[in-house]
Amino acid sequence: MQSTPTAQRILGIDPGSLITGVGIVDSVGDKLKYVFHDSIRSNSKDEFPDRLRNIYTQVQAVVTRYQPTQIAIEQVFMHRNADSALKLGQARAAAMSATFQADIPVHEYAAKLIKQAVVGKGAAAKEQVQHMVGFLLQLSDPVQADAADALAVAICHANMYNIADRLNVKISTIRKRKR
């Protein structure tokens, strides 16, 4: 006999040094419900530490307001430009650090896996991701690309979580809860 699926509120994060997408979905079994999305914008003229502070503060506010039970973030991919890769990694760290006080499990997924989970192919274009996110969450208005990517991260995690739940296995986290 199958147990009742566990309800999860998932915060997806698409990190960026200028625009960080955040998106929240509720997941019960294979049912998804849209909750929230936003694009956290930083001014390119601001000092880089100020941009990181902006990401940290705004992600922390989202966590406080929406109380997610799971967090999923896109892995950093290799850039040809080392400076861009370092800045992206620091933006990702700022977003993740904003979640630590809430002691919520953080999971990471490669961009290719996220696209495959949402669109069906790992090399999908941003427009395809935006379209499928809107379709899967039954959104009437288009979602900005970075916020759509964050919602895609949350959808990917919901799918992975449901598969793991059905198989009665655990999925790995970046940082485990202290319990």
Catalytic residue (one of 14, 26, 38, 149) = 14
In whole angstroms, give the CA distance from residue 117 to residue 153.
Answer: 9
Choose among 51, 59, 46: nearest CA to 17. 51
Catalytic residue (one of 26, 74, 108, 149) = 74
In whole angstroms, give the CA distance from residue 119 to residue 134.
Answer: 11
47 assigned to active site:
no
30 assigned to active site:
no
Catalytic residue (one of 26, 38, 108, 146) = 146
Please state whether 175 falls in left (phi above 0), alpha (psi between -120 and 50) or beta. beta
Contact 72, 155 (CB under 8 A): no
| Residues 71, 77, 79, 82, CA torsion sign | positive
Q: What angle do CA 17, 18, 21 make, to 5 degrees?
A: 90
Measured in degrees and rounded to the nearest 5, phi and psi for residue 8 equal -135, 140
108 assigned to active site:
no
Annotated catalytic residues are: 14, 74, 146
